[in-house]
């Protein structure tokens, strides 16, 4: 049994019969190689421990977190949880802990990530830098592997291992920048040459950028931009707590998206990065959120499921009591169009590599404001004809993917960075009928 599960079980022993209790523990190691001006300037590693304990004494509930797994630290954490719980009002929505169930240990950790060395990360960085045609490069390559463990007072125990490796960076010319990103469970899968070449090409094309008149334009979005749309829709829309509180756009069984849109949560697929159970010990399963444009389901933790009168879907996380459950293994199903084919079909529009600094304005309509970043280009007569300075947009993400608004979905599915971080969304490129650009980067 892994050390995280041992620590989780020890927490339950320390609580004893004083309360219902559950513990979720991750013990792992993260290492980071950071570079700027085309030189590595930082290489660090950290062993980490994350412990989350939730107790309920006569439906008075408290959750606390800690970063040590020795017996003394766990005992102090348990005492803190019980002390805080005693001060809380009775929680009528407390769903109780998950029942005991048979959940076999799983191992999603790739040996090449667990065993990765600073020298191997430096090689990936070197490939990224050298692929940039002499431009100045900046970014990072990191690896993370972890044991996850869960235990509760109903006798439910679960354990797993996972890993993630990422290369992320930009090439800069002095007046432009282009980005590249790749994430995988396996360090050996990272291709610094391909990622650096993409960033370098975007930087080169970004020279001599001009200001584009704000308006609605047809767009081709890169995987990073598509991933940001997906994570916003997932967090604010398919969130069971938000739906219970009438703050979600989701209408089950309704055609709310274009028929080309199928959105799934796939924690057990071939490219899975994380734990196959949530912080409440509920198994994670393959779920279809949108099927051919039809909204099929919401995601729930135990609390939101109880209020909705349904079963939890295994989407509890450390912040779900406040913010609601969240899907963190989203996949936007790919299509059959290449990026070149999508661009060739546009008479006049804009290619957007990525969005930045996105902020939700209205969760129910999914109106979001943000900026383009590190690769924004004019498309004319089926070809990229020049770079555009960064643009501000105010756009309903829901409407952008609405019926009739998705013209093509790319065949280039991959893990893409998004406004919420790396390793949460796999997305392809996408061509949309319109996007509402409202100004330049200054406003």
* CATH number of the domain bearing residue 161: 3.30.2290.10
Q: Cα 57 vs. chain centroid, distance in angstroms? A: 34
Q: What sections of 362-406 are H helices per DSSP?
A: 397-400
For the four alpha carbons of 110, 111, 112 and 118, in that order, the dihedral sign comes to positive
Of 152, 168, 202, which marks where a domain is finished?
202
Of the chain, the end-to-end C-alpha distance in Å amounts to: 54
Q: Tens-of-pLDDT digits for all 443 residues of the chain?
A: 699 999 999 999 999 999 999 999 999 999 999 999 999 999 999 999 999 999 999 999 999 999 999 999 999 999 999 999 999 999 999 999 999 999 888 888 999 999 999 999 999 999 999 998 889 999 999 999 999 999 999 999 999 999 999 999 999 998 999 999 999 999 999 999 999 999 999 999 999 999 999 999 999 999 999 999 999 999 999 999 999 999 999 999 999 999 999 999 999 887 878 778 999 999 999 999 999 999 999 999 999 999 999 999 999 999 999 999 999 999 999 999 999 999 999 999 999 999 999 999 999 999 999 999 999 999 999 999 999 999 999 999 999 999 999 999 999 999 999 989 999 999 999 999 999 999 986 66
> Count of domains in the chain?
2
Say yes or no: 72 and 138 in one domain. yes
Say yes or no: 190 and 217 in one domain. no
Contact 258, 290 (CB under 8 A): no
φ, ψ for residue 432 (rounded to 5)? -120, 155
Contact 195, 201 (CB under 8 A): no
- Token pair 């990191």: residue: 142
Say yes or no: 39 and 177 in one domain. yes
Nearest to 48 by CA among 14, 111, 105, 3: 3
Contacts of 268 (CB under 8 A, 6+ apart): 276, 284, 285, 286
Nearest to 317 by CA among 19, 59, 9, 24: 24
Can you give the pTM of this predicted structure?
A: 0.95
**Consecutive H or E run containing 46:** strand 39-57
Contact 407, 433 (CB under 8 A): yes
Of 202, 225, 252, which marks where a domain is finished?
202
Say yes or no: 190 and 220 in one domain. no
Q: Which two structure tokens, joined as six digits, stand for 83?
A: 């002390």
Say yes or no: 259 and 397 in one domain. yes
Number of residues that this document lists for the chain: 443
User: Which residue range is the domain that position 303 belongs to?
Assistant: 208-443
Of 153, 176, 202, which marks where a domain is finished?
202
> What is the DSSP pairing of strand 348-362 with strand 216-221?
parallel
Say yes or no: 7 and 78 in one domain. yes
């Amino acid at each position: 049994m892994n050390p995280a599960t041992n620590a989780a079980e020890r927490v339950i022993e320390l609580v004893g019969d004083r309360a219902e209790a559950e513990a979720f523990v991750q013990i792992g190691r993260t290492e980071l190689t950071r570079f700027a001006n085309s030189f590595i300037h930082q290489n660090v590693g950290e062993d980490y421990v994350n412990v989350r304990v939730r107790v309920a004494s006569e439906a008075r509930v408290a959750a606390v977190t800690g970063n040590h797994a020795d017996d003394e630290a766990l005992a102090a954490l348990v005492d803190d949880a019980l002390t805080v719980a005693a001060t809380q009002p009775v929680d009528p929505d407390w769903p109780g802990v998950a029942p005991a169930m048979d959940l076999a240990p799983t191992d999603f950790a790739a040996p090449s990530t667990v065993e990765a060395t600073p020298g191997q990360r430096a090689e990936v960085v070197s490939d990224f830098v050298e692929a940039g045609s002499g431009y100045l490069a900046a970014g990072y390559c990191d690896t993370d592997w972890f044991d996850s463990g869960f235990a509760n007072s109903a006798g439910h125990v679960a354990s797993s291992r996972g890993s993630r490796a990422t290369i992320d960076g930009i090439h800069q010319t002095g007046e432009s920048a282009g980005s590249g990103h790749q994430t995988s469970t396996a360090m050996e899968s990272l291709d610094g040459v391909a990622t650096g070449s993409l960033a370098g090409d975007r930087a080169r094309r970004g020279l001599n950028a001009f200001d584009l008149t704000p308006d609605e334009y047809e767009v081709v979005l890169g995987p990073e931009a598509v991933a940001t749309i997906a994570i916003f829709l997932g967090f604010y829309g398919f969130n069971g707590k938000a739906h219970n509180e009438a703050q979600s756009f989701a209408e089950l069984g309704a055609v709310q998206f274009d028929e080309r849109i199928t959105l799934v949560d796939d924690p057990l697929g071939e490219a899975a990065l994380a734990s196959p159970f949530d912080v409440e010990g509920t198994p994670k399963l393959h779920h279809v959120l949108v099927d051919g444009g039809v909204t099929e389901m919401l995601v729930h933790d135990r609390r939101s499921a109880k209020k909705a009168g349904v079963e939890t879907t295994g989407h509890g996380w450390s912040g779900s009591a406040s913010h609601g459950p969240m899907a963190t293994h989203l996949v936007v199903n790919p299509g059959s169009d290449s990026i070149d084919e999508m661009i060739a079909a546009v008479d006049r529009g804009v290619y957007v590599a990525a969005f930045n600094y996105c902020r939700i304005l209205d969760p129910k309509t999914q109106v979001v404001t943000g900026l383009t970043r590190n690769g924004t280009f004019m498309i004319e007569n089926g070809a990229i004809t020049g770079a555009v300075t960064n643009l501000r947009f105010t756009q309903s993400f829901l409407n952008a993917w609405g019926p009739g608004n998705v013209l093509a979905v790319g065949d280039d599915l991959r893990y893409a960075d998004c406004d919420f971080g790396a390793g949460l969304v796999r997305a392809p490129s996408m061509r949309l009928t319109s996007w509402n650009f409202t100004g330049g980067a200054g406003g």
